Amino acid sequence: MRSIDDLDVSGQRVLVRADLNVPMSSGEISDDGRIRASVPTLTALADRGARVVVMAHLGRPKGKIVPELSLAPVATRLSELLQRPVEFSPALTGPDVQAAVSALDDGGILLLENVRFDPRETSKDRERRQRLAADLASLADAYVSDGFGVVHREQASVTDVAQLLPNAAGRLVESESRVFNRLISDPDRPYAVVLGGAKVSDKLGVIGNLLSRVDRILVGGGMCFTFLAAAGHPVGDSLLEADQVETVRQVLADAADRGVEVVLPVDIVVAREFSPDAEKATVAADAIEAGWMGMDIGPQTIELFAEKLADARTVVWNGPMGVFEMPAFAAGTQAIAEALADTSSFTVIGGGDSAAAIRAFGIADDRYSHVSTGGGASLEFLEGKQLPGLAVLEDH
């Protein structure tokens, strides 16, 4: 992988794929961590006189123009963080964007509108993607991959365009790759992974592959109910992916064979409904009744998890332990965040919501070894998979 230092960028047009997919609530950016993470590469390129054209996506517009998913507010915040002007192009392709790029001075920065507004970006049809990639490549002389959160995707702005221009990895992709390479090649043991969050089926797939790499898996968050169900316990009205129960049973059997410890919650904070001021109670994890839904791990589970993490020398955490957005159900996530902030082990936080949770609790990023910007990408890296957005940088 080449770095941006290997590219001669002065006076050149450089197309950068960044990950600016920040959480928004009512038009406001609620956590700008990913925008901040894009600053080092953009600053380095602009300082060296590149004419920087930034591509990124926001949310899942599914190939249509969705005004609420415009990157315009991100351009404003990016400009504040970079402390330099950032132009915004509502067009992705065509004469208007060509003109906007031509108007850039050395060191100038232009952010293009949400690349997923174009249906070709995420098309499964390679030729369609390549047509968008050709349009995008025509805007630049070189390509820089800096969107770590999307390097596991085969998409026009990630893989196809990288093949059409001289390419390099940006600072973020370099530093993330360094951390995850260390985790798969040479982790200090015991090595524990803490998994939570809502995207149950997304993460179930990776667990099977993690079994051959880690010593201990702690499961909380919405996904723990599929595990509790697989262990034969009732889960009431909690989040459950019934079609995954069998897979999880297999995972539990595999784990037992391999001597990997799977630690499940022993108590759960349950609520009558999914709302911040719902009636709540703490119950044993094997006795959640109908009419109640699991919202957070309970106090005994917090203690158990903290104990299981205390002697770990490597810890990867992906996914909140509960519905941390509601203060009544944030205790589990906060306790784990604090326990990890205070260890001397190698601690890596992955997942957009997990990183946002840490910042919401006011815990500084630098109290962990690494806070990743990539959720899915970091998990696939941990599985030992080859990530297409990185592979394309190696062989070009």
For position 265 contacting ligand ADP by CB under 6 A, the verdict is: no
Give the separation between CA 323 and CA 328, rounded to whole angstroms.
9
Looking at residues 194 to 213 of the shown chain, list those that interact with ligand ADP (rule: CB under 6 A).
196-199
For position 351 contacting ligand ADP by CB under 6 A, the verdict is: yes
Cβ closer to ligand ADP: 170 or 350?
A: 350
Shortest spacing between CB 322 and ligand ADP, in angstroms: 5
Query: How large is the C-alpha radius of gyration of the chain?
Result: 22
- Give the neighbor-by-neighbor strand order of the sheet with 370-371: 261-263, 216-219, 191-195, 314-318, 346-350, 370-371
322 binds, among ligand ADP, Mg ion, none (CB under 5 to 8 A by kind): ligand ADP
Stretch of 64-72, 284-292, 298-306, 352-360 contacting ligand ADP, by CB under 6 A: 352-360
From the candidates 147, 352, 375, 389, which is the catalytic residue?
Answer: 352
Give the separation between CA 66 and CA 131, rounded to whole angstroms.
22
Q: Which 8-state DSSP code applies to residue 4?
A: G
Cβ closer to ligand ADP: 170 or 375?
A: 375
Shortest spacing between CB 93 and ligand ADP, in angstroms: 31
215 binds, among ligand ADP, Mg ion, none (CB under 5 to 8 A by kind): none
Residue type, 316: V
Residue type, 26: S
The SS3 of residue 393 is helix
Cβ closer to ligand ADP: 186 or 243?
A: 243
147 binds, among Mg ion, ligand ADP, none (CB under 5 to 8 A by kind): none
Among 325, 328, 343, 396, binds ligand ADP (CB under 6 A): 325
For position 294 contacting ligand ADP by CB under 6 A, the verdict is: yes
**Cβ(151)–Cβ(374) under 8 Å?**
yes
Among 108, 147, 375, 389, binds ligand ADP (CB under 6 A): 375
Residue type, 123: S
Contacts of 33 by beta carbon, 8 Å cutoff, 6+ apart:
22, 355, 356, 359, 365, 371, 373
The SS3 of residue 7 is coil
The SS3 of residue 33 is helix
Query: Using CA of residue 323, residue 329, residue 335, residue 341, what is the dihedral sign?
Result: positive
Candidates 78, 169, 97, 87; CA nearest to 140 is 97
Q: Is 291 an active-site residue?
A: no
198 binds, among Mg ion, ligand ADP, none (CB under 5 to 8 A by kind): ligand ADP
Beta strands 314-318 and 346-350 are parallel
Looking at residues 333 to 352 of the shown chain, list those that interact with Mg ion (rule: CB under 5 A).
352
Shortest spacing between CB 137 and ligand ADP, in angstroms: 31
From the candidates 77, 84, 131, 199, which is the catalytic residue?
Answer: 199
Candidates 22, 117, 127; CA nearest to 78 is 22
Cβ closer to Mg ion: 296 or 353?
A: 353
Looking at residues 349 to 378 of the shown chain, list those that interact with Mg ion (rule: CB under 5 A).
352-353
For position 21 contacting ligand ADP by CB under 6 A, the verdict is: no
Shortest spacing between CB 357 and ligand ADP, in angstroms: 7
For position 383 contacting Mg ion by CB under 5 A, the verdict is: no
Cβ closer to ligand ADP: 230 or 323?
A: 323
**Count of residues in the chain:** 396
Q: Is 199 an active-site residue?
A: yes
For position 298 contacting Mg ion by CB under 5 A, the verdict is: no
Number of H helices, E strands in the chain: 14, 17
For position 390 contacting ligand ADP by CB under 6 A, the verdict is: no
Looking at residues 329 to 348 of the shown chain, list those that interact with ligand ADP (rule: CB under 6 A).
none
How far, in Å, are 61, 78, 104, 155, 381 from residue 88 at the CA level?
19, 11, 11, 22, 33
Cβ closer to Mg ion: 170 or 352?
A: 352
The SS3 of residue 338 is helix
Q: Is 34 an active-site residue?
A: yes
Number of residues that bind Mg ion (CB under 5 A): 2
Q: Which 8-state DSSP code applies to residue 242?
A: G
- List, by residue number, the catalytic residues: 34, 199, 352, 376
Per CB under 6 A, residues contacting ligand ADP are 196-199, 221-222, 239, 294-295, 318-320, 322-323, 325, 351-354, 375
